[in-house]
Amino acid sequence: MLTNGPGAGRAGGAPPRAPGAKPPRFGLSGRGWLLWLIGLLIFNVVFYGSDLKSSGNGPTVTLPYSTFVAQADAGNIKTATISSSTAAGDFRKPYKDPANGKTYTRYTSTLLPIADPNLANTLTGHQVEVTGVSSAAPLWLTVLGLVLQALPFLFFIGLIYFGMRAARGQQQGIFGFGKSKAKLYSEERPGTTFADVAGVDTAKSELREEVDFLRDPAKYQRLGARIPKGVLLVGPPGTGKTLMARAVAGEARTPFFSISATEFVEMFVGVGASRVRDLFDKAKASAPCIVFIDEIDAIGRRRSSGGPMGGGSNDEREQTLNQLLSAMDGFEPNEAVIVLAATNRPEVLDPALLRPGRFDRQVAVDPPDRQGREAILRIHTRNIPLAADVRLDTLAQATPGMSGADLANLANEAALGAARTNRSEVTAVDFDTALDRITLGALGGALMGEDERRTAAYHESGHALVAYLLPNMDAVRRVTITPRGRSLGVTQFLPLDDRRNYPRDYLFNRMVVGLGGRAAEEIACDQITAGAQNDLQGVTRIARAMVTQLGMDDELGPAVFGADESGLNGSPYATWEPKEYSDDTARRIDAAVHRLIDEAHQKARALLGANRPALDAISNALLHEETLNLEQIVALVREAEVGAAS
């Protein structure tokens, strides 16, 4: 398998409580207060409802006042504690209740509402130990009694309140579709700044003007200037468009409304338009602020023409788009509200959305170059303990085409690998292993026999040797025949620099390197295998792009035939276009493609045939070591050249 570095990857929360929302009082939620009410009600039933009027031990009987007086006259009352309304105490002899036949040692009785002047004489005459108590209870006990008595009422009030609250929540779930689902990040919350974004210096410089306007709008307004209302961030997935939008809000210290375009549209007609209105109403109320709409192509696609009759479409998505167009066009110049949107498919957006006055600017957020990748790696490794052998500049050189999200994933995978082996620092080996895991798959695969190992060794040696012999080609970083994922071997390259313009010789030499594995099999193994499948796909794609898109064929000349499907130039998201050339031209294109591939194949065979000792030396070393680096390959080639000369 031949690889020239990893491809572009994907891009790289909501607060626990919405900013501005009041925290629960005393740290308790509604459920916590309900539990407290239930606990107090149980306390009321268990303790307050118990008999607290008597003290002491023994069974107690409640006597009618007449029986109490009769027992006193009979001399059977030993002690009496008298209050304004009750009398309680002990019998001298156990009292047998005639009603149930049980025996009691204590009594309690309710006194008459009118004073009995003979009661005191009767008790003292029979030598009863009389004690008087105040009728007024302590204030805290009185308040506690009132609270406990009111608990049942408060409990049912609480049930009614929480029931009504739940009903309102259900009502909002049914009838609240028109409310915006945008998440609000307030200026008080620590946010992302431009210091957290690297590798997109051009985009940052363009967005600094938006930050300056949000910080000091009067600076521009007094000169009659109008800041762009909308800025469209355009770039492949994973390049940091969302991160850039949050950095703008963090630098400006303004509220930041974030929503995905897919959250506008529901199955009910009119819901998306209502959510757009609600979002912009909130934004105007919070101005100056930023509204960020991610994946805007979900609602901003080009509107249909309505068919041959010319009528417009009336579906929910287009109604939402119409409302968005109206909302953006309705901003007043003094309303400091900026709309940021992100997409990786700008070509599908409606022209009305991109006109001046709505999205005035398009800011390209491209994959980072080598210096940008190094800066991104420094950000993502600042909290990771790195060993002395880790070279971030070398890692940046080995990861062409990787986005910020890919590099963040690389740093995380390296840290995970170091943790699995219980190391205290992340080493260069951990980063190499993580890079292989991301680009090639997990270590291990189908076991190879000796014939397969020999074929794989010659195949990868062919790639490496041809790349070494050709001028101005990317240096070989490593060659291995250790199975990873579905590949039996890999040749990795270390580009000298990121290329934005491809010379014809460089593209042709890439084809020669790609066919070096197949040529080595033909020369050394006298057969061809299926291991060159990926190589042949890449070679054919380059050859067809050279002929149909880049005008690099002498016979067909500088012309473009059909849409760009190569990914080497232009947008990788180009849509299908009908064929705009004749069948004869198509045959000439096919012939030119085959001619380029055959020339590259013959050149690879010639180079390997003339350097057969070096090919054998690299293959034998791979069979023994399984992995070789650039220095080892150079040493083997030079040793083979010396041996051939002698």
Indicate which residues carry an active-site annotation.
460
Record the tokens describing residue 614, joined without a space: 């070096």
- Phi, psi (degrees; rounded to nearest 5) at 231: -125, 125
Strand 103-110 and strand 86-96: the pairing is antiparallel
How many CA atoms does the CB half-sphere of 542 hold within 13 Å? Answer: 22
Q: Which of 587, 607, 465, 463 is nearest to 531 (CA)?
A: 463
Distance CA 473, CA 475 (A): 6
> In which residue are the tokens 């740093």 written?
411
At residue 283's C-alpha, the angle toward residues 279 and 288, to 5°, is: 165
Record the tokens describing residue 215, joined without a space: 């910080």
Q: Is the dihedral of CA 60, 62, 68, 74 positive or negative?
A: negative
Please report, for residues 87, 232, 474, the alpha-carbon distance to residue 345 in angstroms, rounded to integers and kept in the order given.
92, 11, 31
> In which residue are the tokens 């003979």 written?
118
Could you tell me where the beta strands, DSSP code E, fall in 45-203? 60-63, 79-82, 86-96, 103-110, 129-132, 183-185
CB 455 within 8 A of CB 530: no
Distance CA 264, CA 182 (A): 9
Q: Which helix (H) or strand (E) holds 587?
A: helix 583-610
Distance CA 402, CA 411 (A): 12
Kindly tell me the number of DSSP H helices and DSSP E strands found in the chain.
22, 14
Distance CA 509, CA 514 (A): 8
Distance CA 423, CA 384 (A): 12
In this structure, how many other beta carbons lie within 10 angstroms of the beta carbon of residue 608? 23
